[in-house]
């Protein structure tokens, strides 16, 4: 049409003087075409017509010449994909599309379309392969509407492509249409089209309507769409030899809301034998599908007065509706109000004339739709708007950040965690992790709109500006990590006040004070150091120098530094925990009657205090390779840390060279003992092992994140993971633990210490202490849990457990490394995890594994018989990410 306008205009200019009359005629023609164009534009209000793969510079938008529909490039509606073009050698009859968009990267790629919430839309998706890549391999993939599966696109033997339609009502003003890779082939699309419909014409009890059949009964082969159908429904043709066509040239009244095209209403079919029933039979693709049926009638013959056409409608032998008499040139639509079914997937429509009818039954057109259930609601709309604003502000064009942020769970956006209660409740975002993403600028204001956010990690970026006070108003937030950025200014006092309520706030800096010792300003500079323990317990020791001695507080000795060896008998320790005499220690242990184990520090004995509290007593051996430094380190740490997954200190003994630490008693011994099979119990089940790993990981996470300053354990191993009643696991043996900075440096130099096999090679090589050293050791423990193999075994082809595991996994079967004592009773998915995260991520991953395992087993039935209820409910599955 644009080309015609230019042509007419040029003719007018050429004939301005010599052909004035012709020019006037052409002006009239232009006006006529302009009026037609304006009318079509009005008809297409609300239409979305995307020519996929069309570059914006390639005459976009343009008018499709056969239909007059305006099409535009899809480039503004999707952030991924590549452009392809149909093989030009294909016959023109199947080249209805020239360009396409294909998606070699990522699993889910989504179009995001602006729609009107609550509006009924006819949505059409078309894919024509056309050998665009020269491989002659037709694609197969899934199509999703938002978080719900719609249909599988399989282009095998479909040389003319595949087109799918659905009538769908969006729940918000944004609609995601997602192509999901399901195999080796590459998803692709030729066009995406949306057409708004009246809200009162295609109504279901539940679900959406997937187009199955839509045809009008005519001997013609003309397929109708826009502009014949102003809603751009596509009407195919159908005619049977047992029918006879009747028609009219007059237009019918089609104002019943369905707006059936006039060309459809001008023709009808009747049985060739006017005494026979009128039959149509259709076979469903899926026999159990529910059907919605729409039958369109319009009398095309002017009947003599007194004559009438009357018939009954039957669906699979059951009367479908009341007796009908079609009116002359007036549309009547009979439709389902509830879904119907077809026994064995074979559907039969039968129109039977009544005994009073003069004429046989008539039918103009039929529409059949199958019901598609879309049970999963989209993520909370406010959360979606907020996360999209954050995405836009920071330019986060991750291929995984497409479609719904939270659901389905296997497409959860990287760095997010959501609370999914059930499919009918909108998920909410509870965790946002944008660490190490190169973020620049201020902390996004849209974060405050994630009103249910519990954890926020923006660490290791290039963020500038001040810490916003709105973070303190986010009452769900329990952890904020802003470390390793370029933030300036003061931490809002309201945010510091939130720490007293349990908020973990992690920032960089040089000075940080707590409680009453802080300056009285309302805000404290962001440049602060890691948190100081609220416990004010001080230690002192005496060092004998000639004839005098001097007291020195414990806090003046920095963990990680070497301490000059001294005579232990000349050292006294003062602290708030109960101090026991050596005779009390002997009474508690019944003269060291029951040893529980032995380590580098000395022997551990069982004891009880006043017959009411069982304890474990670690007694320093005079020949111990560990000494006062380790003793002091462990006391100092256990005095200021308190966590359910760290063994707690009951008291100590320091009397004339006798050093002892008294802990809570862990009745089920250590993890290594249980894995060895020497314990008097059955083999630890897989889910129990996962829960033990979670408990230990939570303890380590607390040391790394919850402590101020943070701590590195330095001796994580299976013998230092103790098991209590119900197999609750706790970390023990903190003699080698050291603090490290949380600000600009995440490591300190130290003397290498630990247990061979568990020691991080990087720490051993560099002598630099970091939290990832513990992560490495914990990873070795996880391998022990999974394999029940010795950490170092010289008889194996690969002596170290990590090397052996990698060697076995290269064979491609995880079963080869799993503990044979499990007898295959585990979910293999929960055994595959990613490499070397931090402990916070480890906890999340392990919880996910246990959730996955428990969902397979159901209600914790796989836990060991000795497990207490706490073991199966000690984590919140609503806070866990899905498997990715």
> Catalytic site residues?
715
- In 3D, which of 317, 423, 309 has the Cα closest to residue 373? 423
Q: Does an H or E element contain 586, and which?
A: helix 582-588
| 580 within 8 A of 651, measured Cβ to Cβ | yes
Taking the mean position of all CA atoms in its chain, how far away is CA 613?
Answer: 46
Q: Is 618 annotated as a binding residue?
A: yes
How many Å apart are CA 88 and CA 445, to the nearest integer?
50
How many Å apart are CA 600 and CA 598, to the nearest integer?
7
- Show the tokens assigned to 492: 């809002």
- Which long-range contacts (C-beta less than 8 Å, at least 24 apart) are formed by 148-157? 148/373, 148/374, 148/375, 148/376, 150/210, 150/372, 151/210, 151/372, 152/182, 153/125, 153/127, 153/179, 153/187, 155/127, 155/129
How many Å apart are CA 503 and CA 708, to the nearest integer?
13
- Which long-range contacts (C-beta less than 8 Å, at least 24 apart) are formed by 483-488? 483/459, 483/507, 483/508, 483/742, 483/743, 484/459, 484/460, 484/508, 484/744, 485/458, 485/459, 485/460, 485/461, 486/462, 487/463, 487/526, 488/464, 488/526
| 774 within 8 A of 712, measured Cβ to Cβ | yes
- DSSP secondary structure string for all residues of 327-378: PBTB-EEEE-SS-B--GGGEEEEEEEE-TT-SB---B-EEEEEEEE---PPP
Q: What is the b/e burial string over 37-74, where b = at least 16 CB atoms within 10 angstroms of the residue's CB?
A: beebeebbeebbbbbbbbeeeeebebbeeeebbbbbbb
Peptide bond into 408 cis (omega under 30): yes
| 855 within 8 A of 830, measured Cβ to Cβ | no
- In angstroms, the first-to-last Cα distance of the chain is 50
| 386 within 8 A of 447, measured Cβ to Cβ | yes
* List of E strands, 554-601: 578-580, 595-598
How many Å apart are CA 492 and CA 514, to the nearest integer?
14
| 335 within 8 A of 313, measured Cβ to Cβ | no
Helix then strand count (H, E) for the chain reads 14, 47
How many Å apart are CA 296 and CA 261, to the nearest integer?
11
How many Å apart are CA 579 and CA 637, to the nearest integer?
17
Overall size of the chain counted in residues: 884
- In 3D, which of 801, 802, 862, 800 has the Cα closest to residue 830? 862
CA dihedral angle for residue 60, residue 63, residue 66, residue 67, rounded to 10 degrees? 120
Which parts are annotated binding residues for ATP?
618
Binding annotation: 618
């Amino acid at each position: 049409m644009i080309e015609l306008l230019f042509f007419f205009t040029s003719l007018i200019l050429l004939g301005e003087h010599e052909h004035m009359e012709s020019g006037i005629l052409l002006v009239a023609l232009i006006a006529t075409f302009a009026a037609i164009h304006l009318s079509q534009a009005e008809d297409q209000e609300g239409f979305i017509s995307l020519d996929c793969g069309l570059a914006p510079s390639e005459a976009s938008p343009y008018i499709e010449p056969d239909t007059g529909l305006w099409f535009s490039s899809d480039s503004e509606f999707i952030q991924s994909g590549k452009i392809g073009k149909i093989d030009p050698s294909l016959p023109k009859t199947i080249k209805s599309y020239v360009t396409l968009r294909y998606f070699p990267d990522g699993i889910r790629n989504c179009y995001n379309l602006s729609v009107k919430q609550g509006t009924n839309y006819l949505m059409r998706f078309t894919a024509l392969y056309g050998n665009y890549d020269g491989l002659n391999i037709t694609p197969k993939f899934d199509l999703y509407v938002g978080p719900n599966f719609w249909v599988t696109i399989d282009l095998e033997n479909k040389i003319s492509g595949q087109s799918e339609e659905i009538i769908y009502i969006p729940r918000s003003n944004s609609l995601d249409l997602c192509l999901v890779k399901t195999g080796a082939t590459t998803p692709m699309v030729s066009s995406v089209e949306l057409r708004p419909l009246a809200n009162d014409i295609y109504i279901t009890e539940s679900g959406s309507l997937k187009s199955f059949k839509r045809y009008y009964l005519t001997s013609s082969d003309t397929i109708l769409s826009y502009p014949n159908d102003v809603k751009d429904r596509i009407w195919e043709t159908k005619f049977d030899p047992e029918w006879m066509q009747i028609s009219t040239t007059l237009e019918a009244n089609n104002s019943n809301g369905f707006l059936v095209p006039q060309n459809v209403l001008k023709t009808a079919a009747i049985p060739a034998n006017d005494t026979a029933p009128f039959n149509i039979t259709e076979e469903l693709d899926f026999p159990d599908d529910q059907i919605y049926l729409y039958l369109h009638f319009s009398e095309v013959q002017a009947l003599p007065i007194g004559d009438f056409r009357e018939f009954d409608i039957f669906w699979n032998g059951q009367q479908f509706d009341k007796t009908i008499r079609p009116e002359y040139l007036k549309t009547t639509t009979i439709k389902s109000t509830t879904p119907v079914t077809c026994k064995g997937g074979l559907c039969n429509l039968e129109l039977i004339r009544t005994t009073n009818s003069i004429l046989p039954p008539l039918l103009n057109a039929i529409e059949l739709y199958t019901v598609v259930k879309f049970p999963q609601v989209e993520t909370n709309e406010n959360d979606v708007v907020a996360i999209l604003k954050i995405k836009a502000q920071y330019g986060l064009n991750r291929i995984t950040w497409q479609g719904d942020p939270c659901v389905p769970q296997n497409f959860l956006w990287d760095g997010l965690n959501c609370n999914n209660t059930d499919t009918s409740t909108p998920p909410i975002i509870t965790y946002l992790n944008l660490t190490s993403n190169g973020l620049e600028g201020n902390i996004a204001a849209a974060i405050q709109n994630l009103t249910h956010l519990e954890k926020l990690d923006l660490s290791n970026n290039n963020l500038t500006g001040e810490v916003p006070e709105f973070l303190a108003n986010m009452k769900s937030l329990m952890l904020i990590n802003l470390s390793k950025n370029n933030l300036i200014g003061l931490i809002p006092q309201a945010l510091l006040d939130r720490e007293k309520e349990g908020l973990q706030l992690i920032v960089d800096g040089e000075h940080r004070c707590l409680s009453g010792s802080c300056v009285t300003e309302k805000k404290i500079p962001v440049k602060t150091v890691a948190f100081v323990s609220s416990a004010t317990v001080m230690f002192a020791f005496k060092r004998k120098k000639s004839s005098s001695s001097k007291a020195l507080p414990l806090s003046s000795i920095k963990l990680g530094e070497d301490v000059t060896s001294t005579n232990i008998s000349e050292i006294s320790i003062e602290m708030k925990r109960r101090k026991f005499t050596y005779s009390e220690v002997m009474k508690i242990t019944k003269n060291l009657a029951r040893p529980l184990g032995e380590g580098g520090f000395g022997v551990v004995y069982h004891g009880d205090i006043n017959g009411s509290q069982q304890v474990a007593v670690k007694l320093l051996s005079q020949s111990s390779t560990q000494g006062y430094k380790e003793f002091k380190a462990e006391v100092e740490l256990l005095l200021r840390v308190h966590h359910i997954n760290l063994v707690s200190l009951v008291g100590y003994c320091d009397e004339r060279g006798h050093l002892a630490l008294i802990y809570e008693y862990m009745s089920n011994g250590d993890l290594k003992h249980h894995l060895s099979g020497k314990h008097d119990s059955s083999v630890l089940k897989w889910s129990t092992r996962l829960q033990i790993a979670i408990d230990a990981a939570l303890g380590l996470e607390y040391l790394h994140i919850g402590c101020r300053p943070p701590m590195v354990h330095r001796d994580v191993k299976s013998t230092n993971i103790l098991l209590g009643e119900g197999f609750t696991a706790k970390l023990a043996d903190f003699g080698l633990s050291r603090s490290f900075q949380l600000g600009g440096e995440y490591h300190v130099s130290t003397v290498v210490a630990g247990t061979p096999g568990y020691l991080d090679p990087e720490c051993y090589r560099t002598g630099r202490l970091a939290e990832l050293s513990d992560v490495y050791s914990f990873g070795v423990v996880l391998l022990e849990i999974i394999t029940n193999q010795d950490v170092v075994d010289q008889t194996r082809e690969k002596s170290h457990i990590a090397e052996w595991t990698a060697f076995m996994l290269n064979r491609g079967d995880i079963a080869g490394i799993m503990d044979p004592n499990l007898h295959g009773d585990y979910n293999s998915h929960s055994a595959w995890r990613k490499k070397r995260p931090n402990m916070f991520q480890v906890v999340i991953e392990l919880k996910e594994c246990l959730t996955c395992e428990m969902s397979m087993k159901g209600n914790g039935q796989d836990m060991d018989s000795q497990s207490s209820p706490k073991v199966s409910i000690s984590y919140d599955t609503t806070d866990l990410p899905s498997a990715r």
